[in-house]
Amino acid sequence: MTQADTQVTATNAGGETVLDAFIVGCGVSGIEALHRLRSAGFDAIAVDAADGVGGTWHWNRYPGARLDSESYSYGYFFSEELRNGWDWSEHFCGQPENERYFNYVVDALDLRPFMKLGTAVTSAHWDPDGGTWLVTTADGDRYRTRFLITGIGILSDPKYPNIPGRERFSGAVAHTARWPKGGLDLKDKRVAVIGTGSSGVQTIAAIGPIVGSLTVFQRSPNWCPPLNNEPITPLEMAEIKGQYEAIWTKTRTTRGGFIHGPITASALSFSPEERRHWYETLYGRRGFARLYTNFIEVIRTKELNAEFSEFLAEKIRARVEDPEVAKKLIPVDHGFGQRRPPYETGYYEVYNQPNVELVDTTETPLAEITENGIRTTEREFEFDVIIYATGFNSVTGAFERIDIRGRDGASLGDSWRQGPNTVAGLGTYGFPNLLMLGGPQAMGGNIPRCIEHQALFLDSLMRHMRDNGLSRIEPTQAACDEWTAHVAEVVSMTLYAETKSGWFWNAVEGATGHSFGIYPAGVVEYGRRLREIEANGYQGFVLS
């Protein structure tokens, strides 16, 4: 954890700060990349538009925001000192604690001196003459860097619905991914929530009991199993610390990178009653067990998927008193696991409150935002507060926000018009020395566990290049096409492809094609492939 061997940041005659690596983002991936590169002696800094660290956990401070990976499987594992120096208070910790955790990490690793916060990166242009990137920020700062490393996520650019009149509303407004730092007074207010993905489900469950009235505008219901969160006692935490190596191993060997191991037996070797019994057991388990400790056939075959989905539908019908409301809350266009499931705590019970209304926007679409509220095709609603839980310009949105130009001045946005096309989500053709962490075609499952593989890869790659006098790396077009084809092939073996989901598919406005946004084969396979690329001399990349 020492910075002793880092170089001193220099400025050139043009007033540009000269670096080995410029990292965009101080979230989960930016923090680890910065730590690894500085520890290896590279002159690296990380810059973030947010005025605090933690990325996702800085911005998404809406009521109810919390993990659905077990906290102790989500943090950094690479330092025993770091992990043993932190106590998690719940199996799935809330946003404030997660944000505190990332601050703890940054301070423990002494990274703050190498971070610039509250500064948006506006452009990054490859300069072929010097073989460097010229990065500029909104503050007018200029950086000349050998490597550009992005840690900007695939779910970080908030999306607002394309409804006329948004600026007209005179009440309070918040997007879940840009929640005001000082909070929002919702007590006894007339509140609208648009969107019922993971953010909407958590928000609705948290604010339902305190608001004056709540109107939920739902376009698509999701399958939401209970999170089954519980506090962690100090004794349990002591036990967890004693098991960290085993927990880490488990996250590196189970498909999704969670602590939930697979059930290897075929569903078909059990009777329907036995399967039902197992589904009941799973319903009482935590978080992603419902996906990763379920029979594999549940996400591979329509019959078993329908069986488990019907089991969940029964639970919804049992928990929601009004059968008409329950019916609206049960998805009909996809089965469990075909979209990323939100996990809930008291979500369905909110709809039993007399002051809560569920509006199905497929029946009565949102027509406009008015000065006083929201008008659907049926009627106008008056609100004090509108909450947009409408998600993100997923996968490529954060990359589009920065003017990134590679060789020949081509923009990254243009080059990804057909969807992102990368080698393992790490690099893309036409953009030398651009290395992406937490980017497209790579994530899936427990996100920090994917990033951990990437950070290790980055660490060895940078050392390899330095040790061998290499200064440039770029993937080949063929390797990018091959990875994209591999991703598509894996997708075709699942039920994902049959589902509409902006989270899975590149849904950038103006995109003319689709490519799968995440890596669907899981964290373990992803890590294996990164190690293979490295062992084969960075196969798919040209180093010079």
Looking at beta carbons only, is 389 or 487 nearer to ligand N01? 389
Q: How far is the CB of 509 from ligand N01 (least distance, A)?
A: 12
Looking at beta carbons only, is 197 or 522 nearer to ligand N01? 197
Looking at beta carbons only, is 132 or 198 nearer to ligand N01? 198
Looking at beta carbons only, is 22 or 504 nearer to ligand N01? 504
Q: State the number of binding residues for ligand N01 (CB under 6 A).
A: 25
CA separation for the pair 115, 45 (Å, rounded) = 6
In 3D space, the residue among 169, 218, 215 whose CA is nearest the CA of residue 190 turns out to be 215
Q: Does 299 bind ligand N01 (CB under 6 A)?
A: no
Q: How far is the CB of 154 from ligand N01 (least distance, A)?
A: 9
Neighbour tally for 201: CB within 10 Å: 27
Looking at beta carbons only, is 42 or 101 nearer to ligand N01? 101
Q: How far is the CB of 129 from ligand N01 (least distance, A)?
A: 41
403: its two tokens: 């003017």
Binders of ligand N01 among residues 202 to 221 (CB under 6 A) are 202, 217, 219-220
Render the burial of 388-426: b for 16+ CB within 10 Å, e for the rest. bbbbbbbbbbbbbbbebbbeeeebbbebbeebbbbbbbb
Q: How far is the CB of 176 from ligand N01 (least distance, A)?
A: 6
Residues with Cβ < 8 Å from 257, sequence gap 6 or more?
73, 251, 445, 446, 449, 450, 522, 523, 524
Q: Does 503 bind ligand N01 (CB under 6 A)?
A: yes
Q: Could you give the residue ranges of the DSSP H alpha helices within 173-212?
A: 198-207
Binders of ligand N01 among residues 186 to 205 (CB under 6 A) are 194-200, 202
In 3D space, the residue among 316, 43, 342 whose CA is nearest the CA of residue 206 turns out to be 342
Q: Does 393 bind ligand N01 (CB under 6 A)?
A: no
Q: How far is the CB of 335 from ligand N01 (least distance, A)?
A: 15
Looking at beta carbons only, is 150 or 202 nearer to ligand N01? 202
Q: Does 224 bind ligand N01 (CB under 6 A)?
A: no
Looking at beta carbons only, is 519 or 538 nearer to ligand N01? 519
Residue type at 429 in one-letter notation:
Y
Q: How far is the CB of 392 from ligand N01 (least distance, A)?
A: 6
Looking at beta carbons only, is 381 or 503 nearer to ligand N01? 503
Binders of ligand N01 among residues 168 to 187 (CB under 6 A) are 176
Q: Does 391 bind ligand N01 (CB under 6 A)?
A: yes
Residue nearest ligand N01 by beta-carbon distance: 197
In 3D space, the residue among 257, 303, 225 whose CA is nearest the CA of residue 518 turns out to be 257
Binders of ligand N01 among residues 39 to 68 (CB under 6 A) are 67-68
Q: Does 153 bind ligand N01 (CB under 6 A)?
A: no
Q: What is the DSSP letter of 427?
A: B
Q: How far is the CB of 389 from ligand N01 (least distance, A)?
A: 6
Q: Does 389 bind ligand N01 (CB under 6 A)?
A: yes
In 3D space, the residue among 217, 166, 176, 211 whose CA is nearest the CA of residue 191 turns out to be 211
Looking at beta carbons only, is 207 or 461 nearer to ligand N01? 207
Q: Does 346 bind ligand N01 (CB under 6 A)?
A: no
Q: How far is the CB of 441 from ligand N01 (least distance, A)?
A: 16
Find the part of the chain contacting ligand N01 (CB under 6 A) among 114-122, 350-358, 385-393, 487-495: 385-393
Looking at beta carbons only, is 92 or 308 nearer to ligand N01? 92
Q: Does 340 bind ligand N01 (CB under 6 A)?
A: yes
Q: Does 384 bind ligand N01 (CB under 6 A)?
A: no
Q: Does 71 bind ligand N01 (CB under 6 A)?
A: no
Sign, CA dihedral 216-222-226-229, equals negative
Q: Does 515 bind ligand N01 (CB under 6 A)?
A: no
Q: How far is the CB of 13 from ligand N01 (least distance, A)?
A: 45
Q: Which helix (H) or strand (E) holds 56?
A: helix 56-59
CA separation for the pair 161, 109 (Å, rounded) = 40
CA separation for the pair 331, 326 (Å, rounded) = 10
Which of 225, 373, 502, 540 is close enough to bind ligand N01 by CB under 6 A?
A: 502
Which of 29, 98, 254, 361 is close enough to bind ligand N01 by CB under 6 A?
A: 361
CA separation for the pair 507, 392 (Å, rounded) = 10
Sign, CA dihedral 495-91-451-198, equals positive
Q: How far is the CB of 190 from ligand N01 (least distance, A)?
A: 19
Q: How far is the CB of 232 from ligand N01 (least distance, A)?
A: 17
Q: How far from chain centre, in Å, is Cα 279? A: 27
Question: Which pairs count as long-range contacts for 236-245, CB under 8 Å and 24+ apart, including other chains?
Answer: 237/87, 237/88, 240/72, 240/88, 241/83, 241/84, 244/72, 244/77, 244/80, 244/83, 244/84
Per-state percent for the chain, helix, strand, coil, to nearest 5: 35, 20, 45
Question: Which pairs count as long-range contacts for 38-42, CB under 8 Å and 24+ apart, including other chains?
Answer: 38/3, 38/6, 38/111, 38/114, 39/1, 39/2, 39/3, 40/459, 40/462, 40/463, 41/5, 41/6, 41/7, 42/6, 42/7, 42/462, 42/466
Tell me which residues touch ligand N01 (CB under 6 A): 67-68, 155, 161, 176, 194-200, 202, 217, 219-220, 340, 361, 366, 389-392, 502-503
